[in-house]
C-alpha cells in the first residue's frame, strides 16, 4: 500500500509510476485520493472541535448548577447532548471515509523503481545475463511429460480423475527426485546463504493475505478454505428471526459469514513468511531477517486459458522453496541482488543453463517495486521459462502489515522493506532436470548435486 503523504507530496511521480504500469485513469485516481483525504481531515478537525466544545460545555454545566442557574444548565445540557450525537455521527463518517480511502489505496499497485524498464508487457523485459550453455543432443529432445509418461512415473490421467485438470501424480523415483530437489535447496539456503528454515501454516487468514497484497484485488486467483454454514445451521439461526423483524435473515447470515475472517490456502510461502513481522516493531540490530520454507502452494488461476495445458508448467498445486528477507530501506537494493544470487546458485549447482531478466513496468507483480526473473533453459520446448522471481517490494507490503523497525538510537520507527523470491520453484526444477539430463533411451541422468539425496542413484530409467 502506498503512503498517502508520499502520494500528496510527489504527485508527478505517482502519476508517472501508474502510467508506466498501465494503470487505468491515474489522474482521476489521484484526484479521488486527495479529495477523500481532505474530507477525512476535515471530518477529524470537526470532531476535535466538537469534542473540545463538549468538554468545555460539560464543565460549564457544573458551574451553572453550582450558581443555581438552571436555565443556563438546561441550555448547556441540551448542547452537550447535541454534541454527543454530532460526535457519534462524525465518528461514523470518519470510519466510512477511512475505509473508502483504504480500499482505494489497496487496489493501487506499487510504484516502479526508477531503473525498471518501461513497457507494457514481457516483450519489454531486459536480459541482464546468460549463464551456462544449453546442451546439444544427438536426438530430438522430449518435453518432460513425454519423458515422465514413457517412464510410467508421471500420471496426469489419474490426477484428473481425482482432482480435475492441472494436477499430476508423481511416482517412485520421480517423486523422490522432486523431494530431493526441495531438500537440496533448503540445505543450500540454510547452510550457505544464511536463511532460517520455517515450517509455516498452509492456511492463513484474510488479513495475512491482505498484508502481502493477494487480497482484495486477486481474490479470484486464490483457493478459499472458509467454512460456510450448512442449511441446517442457517435454519437454527433463523429461529431468532423475531429479533430481526423485517430483515432477510438468511441473506444477513450469509453476508455475516462472508464478512468474517476466512481461511485461504497459501499461493506461496511468501504470504506466511513475510507476515511473521506483521504488527511488530523490530530492533534494527535484528535486521536483516532471512527466512526460507519449502511448501505446497495453491493457485486457482493457473495461467492463460489454453496455455501450458499439458505437463507441469502451470498447475493448481505445486511445490516451491521460498526466500523472504526483511530489511532496512538502505539495504534492500543490496539484499535484492543477494537474494537473486542465492536463487541462481541453485541452478549453478544443478548444472542448468539459465538467464536473468529484469521485468518491465507492465510485467512485474502488483506489490513489486523491481523484479528479476530467472529463466531456466528447457530443451523440450527450446526456450527459457521462468523458474524464479525475486522482487523488492520496498515498504509497500510493510504498510499493509504495519511492520516497522526502530533504527538504532532513534525514538521514531520506520517501515521495513520486504523482499521475496523463489529459491526455486521445485516442480519447474524437476522439469528442467528431466529435460536437460534426458538420455537417448528415455532415461534421466541424475545431477551430481542430487545423488546424495537419491541414495547414490545415477539415473532414472524405465523398469525392464
Q: Annotated active-site positions, please?
A: 299, 314, 386, 389, 428
Residue 397 and residue 277: Cα distance in Å, rounded? 11
Cα dist from 152 to 115, 117, 219, whole Å: 48, 45, 37
In which order are the strands placed within the sheet that holds 263-265? 203-205, 263-265, 223-224
Residue 343 and residue 188: Cα distance in Å, rounded? 10
Residue 275 and residue 269: Cα distance in Å, rounded? 10
Which helix (H) or strand (E) segment is 255 a member of? helix 249-259
Residue 281 corresponds to which cell in the numbers above? 516493531
- Contact of 157 with 145, CB cutoff 8 Å: no
Residue 425 and residue 389: Cα distance in Å, rounded? 9
Q: Which residues contact 54 (CB under 8 A, 6 or more apart)?
A: 80, 83, 84, 87
For residue 170, give the nearest of 190, 187, 149, 192 by alpha carbon: 149
- Contact of 108 with 2, CB cutoff 8 Å: yes
Residue 117 corresponds to which cell in the numbers above? 524498464
Q: In the 8-state DSSP scheme, what is residue 285?
A: G
CA atoms within 13 A on the CB side of 95: 6
- Contact of 354 with 377, CB cutoff 8 Å: yes
Residue 36 corresponds to which cell in the numbers above? 477523500
Amino acid at each position: 500500500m502506498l503512503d498517502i503523504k508520499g502520494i500528496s507530496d510527489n504527485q508527478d511521480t505517482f502519476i508517472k509510476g501508474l502510467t508506466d504500469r498501465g494503470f487505468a485513469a491515474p489522474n482521476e485516481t489521484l484526484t479521488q485520493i486527495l479529495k477523500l483525504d481532505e474530507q477525512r481531515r476535515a471530518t477529524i478537525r470537526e470532531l476535535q472541535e466538537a469534542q473540545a466544545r463538549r468538554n468545555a460545555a460539560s464543565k460549564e454545566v457544573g458551574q451553572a448548577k453550582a450558581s443555581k442557574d438552571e436555565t443556563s444548565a438546561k441550555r448547556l445540557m441540551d448542547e452537550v447532548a447535541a454534541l454527543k450525537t454530532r460526535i457519534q455521527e462524525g465518528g461514523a463518517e470518519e470510519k466510512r471515509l477511512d475505509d473508502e480511502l483504504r480500499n482505494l489505496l489497496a487496489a493501487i499497485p506499487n510504484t516502479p523503481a526508477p531503473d525498471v524498464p518501461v513497457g507494457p508487457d514481457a516483450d519489454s523485459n531486459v536480459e541482464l545475463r546468460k549463464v551456462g550453455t544449453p546442451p546439444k543432443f544427438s536426438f530430438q529432445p522430449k518435453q518432460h511429460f513425454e519423458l515422465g509418461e514413457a517412464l510410467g512415473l508421471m500420471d496426469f490421467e489419474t490426477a484428473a480423475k481425482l482432482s480435475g485438470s492441472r494436477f499430476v501424480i508423481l511416482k517412485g523415483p520421480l517423486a523422490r527426485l522432486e523431494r530431493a530437489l526441495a531438500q537440496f535447496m533448503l540445505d543450500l539456503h540454510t547452510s550457505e546463504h544464511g536463511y532460517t528454515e520455517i515450517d509455516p501454516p498452509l492456511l492463513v487468514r484474510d488479513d495475512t493475505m491482505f498484508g502481502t497484497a493477494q487480497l482484495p484485488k486477486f481474490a479470484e486467483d486464490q483457493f478459499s478454505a472458509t467454512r460456510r454454514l450448512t442449511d441446517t445451521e442457517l435454519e437454527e439461526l433463523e429461529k431468532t428471526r423475531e429479533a430481526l423483524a423485517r430483515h432477510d435473515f438468511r441473506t444477513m447470515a450469509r453476508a455475516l459469514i462472508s464478512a468474517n475472517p476466512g481461511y485461504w490456502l497459501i499461493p506461496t510461502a511468501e504470504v506466511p513468511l513475510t507476515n511473521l513481522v506483521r504488527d511488530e516493531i523490530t530492533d534494527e540490530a535484528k535486521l536483516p531477517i532471512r527466512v526460507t520454507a519449502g511448501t505446497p502452494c495453491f493457485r486457482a488461476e493457473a495461467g492463460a486459458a489454453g496455455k501450458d495445458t499439458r505437463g507441469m508448467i502451470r498447475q493448481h498445486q505445486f511445490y516451491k522453496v521460498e526466500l523472504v528477507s526483511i530489511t532496512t530501506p538502505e539495504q534492500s537494493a543490496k539484499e535484492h541482488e543477494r537474494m537473486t544470487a542465492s536463487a541462481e546458485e541453485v541452478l549453478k549447482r544443478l548444472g542448468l543453463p539459465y538467464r536473468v531478466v529484469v521485468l518491465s513496468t507492465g510485467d512485474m507483480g502488483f506489490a513489486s517495486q523491481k523484479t528479476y526473473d530467472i529463466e531456466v533453459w528447457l530443451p523440450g520446448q527450446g526456450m527459457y521459462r521462468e523458474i524464479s522471481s525475486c522482487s523488492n517490494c520496498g515498504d509497500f507490503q510493510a504498510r499493509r502489515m504495519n511492520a516497522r523497525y526502530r533504527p538504532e538510537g532513534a525514538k521514531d520507527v520506520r517501515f521495513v522493506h520486504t523482499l521475496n523470491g523463489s529459491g526455486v520453484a521445485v516442480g519447474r526444477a524437476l522439469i528442467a532436470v528431466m529435460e536437460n539430463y534426458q538420455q537417448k533411451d528415455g532415461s534421466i541422468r541424475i545431477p551430481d548435486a542430487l545423488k546424495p539425496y537419491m541414495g547414490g542413484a545415477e539415473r532414472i530409467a524405465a523398469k525392464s
